[in-house]
Amino acid sequence: MKKVSVILNCFRRPHSLKDQYSAVLSQSIKPHEILVWKNDPGVNIPFDFSSINAVVSHNNTNFGVWARFSFALNSTGDYICVLDDDTIPGPNWFANCIECIENEHNGLYGTIGVIFNDLEYRSYERVGWAAPNGETRKVDIVGHSWFFRRDLLSAFWRETVPPLSHLCGEDMHFSYSIQKYLNLCTYVPPHPTGDTSLWGSDPDSAQRLGVDQHAISVNHHSEIFGNSLKHYYNKGFNLQRI
Protein backbone atom coordinates (compact mmCIF):
# COMPACT_ATOMS: atom_id res chain seq x y z
CA MET A 1 0.00 0.00 0.00
CA LYS A 2 1.31 3.42 -0.96
CA LYS A 3 1.92 5.83 1.92
CA VAL A 4 0.22 9.25 1.82
CA SER A 5 1.59 12.15 3.85
CA VAL A 6 -0.90 14.93 4.52
CA ILE A 7 0.02 18.60 4.95
CA LEU A 8 -2.61 20.74 6.66
CA ASN A 9 -2.28 24.41 7.46
CA CYS A 10 -3.85 26.55 10.12
CA PHE A 11 -4.05 30.33 9.92
CA ARG A 12 -7.36 31.92 10.87
CA ARG A 13 -9.62 28.92 10.37
CA PRO A 14 -8.87 26.54 13.27
CA HIS A 15 -12.62 25.82 13.31
CA SER A 16 -12.19 23.92 10.03
CA LEU A 17 -9.11 21.97 11.17
CA LYS A 18 -11.18 19.54 13.21
CA ASP A 19 -13.36 18.70 10.20
CA GLN A 20 -10.32 18.38 7.92
CA TYR A 21 -8.59 16.08 10.38
CA SER A 22 -11.68 13.87 10.61
CA ALA A 23 -12.00 13.75 6.81
CA VAL A 24 -8.34 12.77 6.43
CA LEU A 25 -8.69 9.96 8.98
CA SER A 26 -11.83 8.77 7.15
CA GLN A 27 -10.02 8.23 3.85
CA SER A 28 -10.32 4.76 2.32
CA ILE A 29 -6.51 4.89 2.08
CA LYS A 30 -5.42 5.87 5.56
CA PRO A 31 -2.83 8.63 5.94
CA HIS A 32 0.73 7.60 6.69
CA GLU A 33 1.28 10.80 8.68
CA ILE A 34 -0.26 14.23 9.20
CA LEU A 35 1.81 17.40 9.41
CA VAL A 36 0.23 20.74 10.37
CA TRP A 37 1.81 24.07 9.43
CA LYS A 38 0.57 26.90 11.67
CA ASN A 39 1.28 30.40 10.43
CA ASP A 40 0.99 33.12 13.05
CA PRO A 41 -2.43 34.72 12.43
CA GLY A 42 -1.65 37.91 14.31
CA VAL A 43 -4.63 37.25 16.59
CA ASN A 44 -5.19 34.70 19.30
CA ILE A 45 -7.35 31.92 17.85
CA PRO A 46 -7.32 29.00 20.28
CA PHE A 47 -7.14 25.39 19.18
CA ASP A 48 -6.22 22.34 21.25
CA PHE A 49 -3.53 20.80 19.06
CA SER A 50 -3.10 17.99 21.59
CA SER A 51 -6.49 16.72 20.38
CA ILE A 52 -5.02 15.61 17.06
CA ASN A 53 -2.30 13.08 16.31
CA ALA A 54 -0.05 15.18 14.10
CA VAL A 55 3.31 16.89 13.87
CA VAL A 56 2.60 20.60 14.36
CA SER A 57 4.94 23.42 13.40
CA HIS A 58 4.11 26.61 15.33
CA ASN A 59 5.45 29.83 13.82
CA ASN A 60 5.67 33.33 15.24
CA THR A 61 5.29 34.92 11.81
CA ASN A 62 3.15 34.49 8.70
CA PHE A 63 5.20 32.86 5.94
CA GLY A 64 2.27 32.85 3.53
CA VAL A 65 1.04 30.10 1.22
CA TRP A 66 4.44 28.90 -0.02
CA ALA A 67 5.75 27.60 3.30
CA ARG A 68 3.55 24.50 3.23
CA PHE A 69 5.53 23.12 0.31
CA SER A 70 8.77 23.68 2.17
CA PHE A 71 7.33 21.95 5.24
CA ALA A 72 6.34 19.04 2.99
CA LEU A 73 10.03 18.22 2.53
CA ASN A 74 9.86 16.75 6.05
CA SER A 75 7.32 14.14 4.97
CA THR A 76 8.20 10.47 4.43
CA GLY A 77 5.30 9.15 2.35
CA ASP A 78 5.26 8.06 -1.29
CA TYR A 79 2.57 10.65 -2.02
CA ILE A 80 1.83 14.05 -0.55
CA CYS A 81 -1.57 15.72 -0.20
CA VAL A 82 -1.54 19.43 0.66
CA LEU A 83 -4.92 20.85 1.65
CA ASP A 84 -6.06 24.47 1.89
CA ASP A 85 -7.74 25.20 5.22
CA ASP A 86 -11.15 25.59 3.55
CA THR A 87 -11.02 22.17 1.86
CA ILE A 88 -12.72 19.04 3.24
CA PRO A 89 -12.01 16.00 0.99
CA GLY A 90 -14.38 13.14 0.30
CA PRO A 91 -13.40 9.71 1.71
CA ASN A 92 -12.08 8.40 -1.62
CA TRP A 93 -10.04 11.45 -2.61
CA PHE A 94 -6.64 9.84 -2.00
CA ALA A 95 -7.71 6.69 -3.84
CA ASN A 96 -9.04 8.74 -6.77
CA CYS A 97 -5.76 10.60 -7.20
CA ILE A 98 -3.56 7.53 -6.83
CA GLU A 99 -5.66 5.64 -9.38
CA CYS A 100 -5.17 8.47 -11.90
CA ILE A 101 -1.43 8.88 -11.24
CA GLU A 102 -0.67 5.19 -11.49
CA ASN A 103 -3.03 4.24 -14.32
CA GLU A 104 -3.55 7.42 -16.37
CA HIS A 105 -1.02 10.26 -16.09
CA ASN A 106 1.77 10.95 -13.66
CA GLY A 107 1.62 14.61 -12.69
CA LEU A 108 0.12 17.11 -10.28
CA TYR A 109 -3.53 16.66 -9.30
CA GLY A 110 -5.99 18.94 -7.54
CA THR A 111 -9.66 19.41 -6.69
CA ILE A 112 -10.17 22.67 -8.57
CA GLY A 113 -8.46 23.25 -11.90
CA VAL A 114 -8.12 26.43 -13.92
CA ILE A 115 -7.68 26.85 -17.68
CA PHE A 116 -6.82 30.48 -18.44
CA ASN A 117 -8.25 32.50 -21.31
CA ASP A 118 -6.11 35.58 -20.66
CA LEU A 119 -3.12 36.75 -18.62
CA GLU A 120 -5.13 39.11 -16.43
CA TYR A 121 -6.56 36.27 -14.32
CA ARG A 122 -10.06 37.52 -15.17
CA SER A 123 -11.27 34.95 -17.69
CA TYR A 124 -10.87 31.23 -17.12
CA GLU A 125 -12.65 27.89 -17.02
CA ARG A 126 -12.84 26.04 -13.72
CA VAL A 127 -12.89 22.25 -13.45
CA GLY A 128 -13.48 20.09 -10.38
CA TRP A 129 -15.67 20.51 -7.33
CA ALA A 130 -17.06 23.84 -8.63
CA ALA A 131 -17.70 22.43 -12.13
CA PRO A 132 -17.81 18.63 -11.94
CA ASN A 133 -15.94 16.60 -14.55
CA GLY A 134 -16.75 13.00 -15.39
CA GLU A 135 -13.25 12.24 -16.68
CA THR A 136 -9.74 13.37 -15.83
CA ARG A 137 -9.08 16.85 -17.27
CA LYS A 138 -5.77 18.49 -18.10
CA VAL A 139 -5.65 22.05 -16.74
CA ASP A 140 -3.14 24.89 -16.33
CA ILE A 141 -3.03 24.97 -12.54
CA VAL A 142 -4.82 23.39 -9.58
CA GLY A 143 -5.71 24.63 -6.13
CA HIS A 144 -7.49 23.92 -2.85
CA SER A 145 -5.81 20.49 -2.78
CA TRP A 146 -2.55 19.33 -4.36
CA PHE A 147 -1.85 15.60 -4.65
CA PHE A 148 1.44 14.35 -6.09
CA ARG A 149 4.32 11.92 -5.87
CA ARG A 150 6.82 13.18 -3.34
CA ASP A 151 9.60 13.50 -5.93
CA LEU A 152 7.72 16.36 -7.65
CA LEU A 153 8.95 18.59 -4.83
CA SER A 154 12.38 18.42 -6.46
CA ALA A 155 10.98 20.48 -9.33
CA PHE A 156 9.12 22.89 -7.06
CA TRP A 157 12.33 23.87 -5.29
CA ARG A 158 14.62 23.80 -8.35
CA GLU A 159 14.23 27.59 -8.57
CA THR A 160 14.55 29.42 -5.26
CA VAL A 161 14.10 33.06 -6.28
CA PRO A 162 11.79 34.71 -3.70
CA PRO A 163 8.15 34.78 -4.85
CA LEU A 164 6.49 37.95 -6.11
CA SER A 165 3.93 37.67 -3.32
CA HIS A 166 3.69 35.46 -0.24
CA LEU A 167 -0.10 35.50 -0.72
CA CYS A 168 -0.29 33.67 -4.05
CA GLY A 169 1.59 32.13 -6.95
CA GLU A 170 2.58 28.82 -5.39
CA ASP A 171 0.00 27.01 -7.55
CA MET A 172 1.40 28.55 -10.76
CA HIS A 173 4.97 27.93 -9.66
CA PHE A 174 4.30 24.23 -9.02
CA SER A 175 2.66 23.59 -12.40
CA TYR A 176 5.30 25.68 -14.19
CA SER A 177 8.13 23.81 -12.45
CA ILE A 178 6.96 20.28 -13.19
CA GLN A 179 6.28 21.27 -16.79
CA LYS A 180 9.76 22.76 -17.21
CA TYR A 181 11.90 20.29 -15.29
CA LEU A 182 9.94 17.00 -15.37
CA ASN A 183 7.86 17.37 -18.56
CA LEU A 184 4.73 16.65 -16.52
CA CYS A 185 1.28 18.24 -16.62
CA THR A 186 -1.43 19.25 -14.17
CA TYR A 187 -4.79 17.49 -13.91
CA VAL A 188 -8.11 17.31 -12.11
CA PRO A 189 -9.22 13.70 -11.49
CA PRO A 190 -12.87 12.76 -12.02
CA HIS A 191 -15.43 14.62 -9.91
CA PRO A 192 -18.56 12.73 -11.00
CA THR A 193 -21.88 14.30 -10.06
CA GLY A 194 -23.15 10.99 -8.74
CA ASP A 195 -20.29 10.24 -6.35
CA THR A 196 -18.94 13.06 -4.19
CA SER A 197 -16.86 10.56 -2.19
CA LEU A 198 -14.28 10.94 -4.98
CA TRP A 199 -14.22 14.72 -4.76
CA GLY A 200 -11.31 16.64 -3.29
CA SER A 201 -13.57 19.17 -1.60
CA ASP A 202 -17.03 19.10 -0.08
CA PRO A 203 -18.81 21.78 -2.14
CA ASP A 204 -20.97 23.11 0.69
CA SER A 205 -17.99 23.59 2.99
CA ALA A 206 -15.93 25.08 0.19
CA GLN A 207 -18.62 27.63 -0.65
CA ARG A 208 -19.04 28.59 2.99
CA LEU A 209 -15.38 28.74 4.05
CA GLY A 210 -13.89 29.87 0.73
CA VAL A 211 -15.68 33.22 0.76
CA ASP A 212 -15.44 34.08 4.46
CA GLN A 213 -13.49 37.06 5.81
CA HIS A 214 -10.21 35.11 5.80
CA ALA A 215 -10.23 34.16 2.10
CA ILE A 216 -7.24 35.54 0.17
CA SER A 217 -9.32 35.80 -3.02
CA VAL A 218 -11.84 38.00 -1.20
CA ASN A 219 -9.37 40.25 0.59
CA HIS A 220 -6.87 40.88 -2.18
CA HIS A 221 -7.31 42.30 -5.67
CA SER A 222 -6.92 40.00 -8.66
CA GLU A 223 -3.99 42.16 -9.80
CA ILE A 224 -1.54 40.23 -7.62
CA PHE A 225 -2.75 36.97 -9.16
CA GLY A 226 -2.45 38.40 -12.66
CA ASN A 227 1.07 39.63 -11.97
CA SER A 228 2.14 36.15 -10.91
CA LEU A 229 0.53 34.57 -13.98
CA LYS A 230 2.33 36.99 -16.31
CA HIS A 231 5.56 36.32 -14.46
CA TYR A 232 5.44 32.58 -15.09
CA TYR A 233 4.14 32.99 -18.62
CA ASN A 234 7.16 35.19 -19.39
CA LYS A 235 9.41 32.52 -17.88
CA GLY A 236 8.03 30.02 -20.39
CA PHE A 237 4.96 28.52 -18.69
CA ASN A 238 2.96 26.94 -21.52
CA LEU A 239 -0.75 27.63 -21.07
CA GLN A 240 -3.32 25.68 -23.05
CA ARG A 241 -5.27 28.61 -24.54
CA ILE A 242 -2.69 31.40 -24.54
How do residues 31-77 score in pLDDT, each as one tens digit?
999 999 988 876 666 788 889 999 999 899 889 899 999 999 999 99
pLDDT at 223: 86
pLDDT at 49: 85
Q: Name 228's Cβ contacts closer than 8 Å, sequence gap at least 6.
A: 163, 164, 165, 168, 169, 172
pLDDT at 44: 62
44 compared with 240, residue with greater pLDDT:
240
Please give the Cα distance from 131 to 126 (Å, whole number): 6
141 contacts 229 by C-beta, under 8 angstroms: no
Centre a 10 Å sphere on the Cβ of residue 175 and count the other Cβ atoms it contains.
Answer: 29
How do residues 167-223 score in pLDDT, each as one tens digit?
899 999 999 999 999 999 999 999 999 999 999 999 987 666 544 344 444 444 578
DSSP 94-134: HHHHHHHHHHT--EEEEEEEEEESSTTSSSEEEEETTB--S
Chain mean pLDDT for the chain: 91
Please give the Cα distance from 105 to 103 (Å, whole number): 7
How do residues 77-100 score in pLDDT, each as one tens digit?
999 999 998 899 999 999 999 999
pLDDT at 43: 66
**Which residue type occupies 77?**
G
221 compared with 150, residue with greater pLDDT:
150
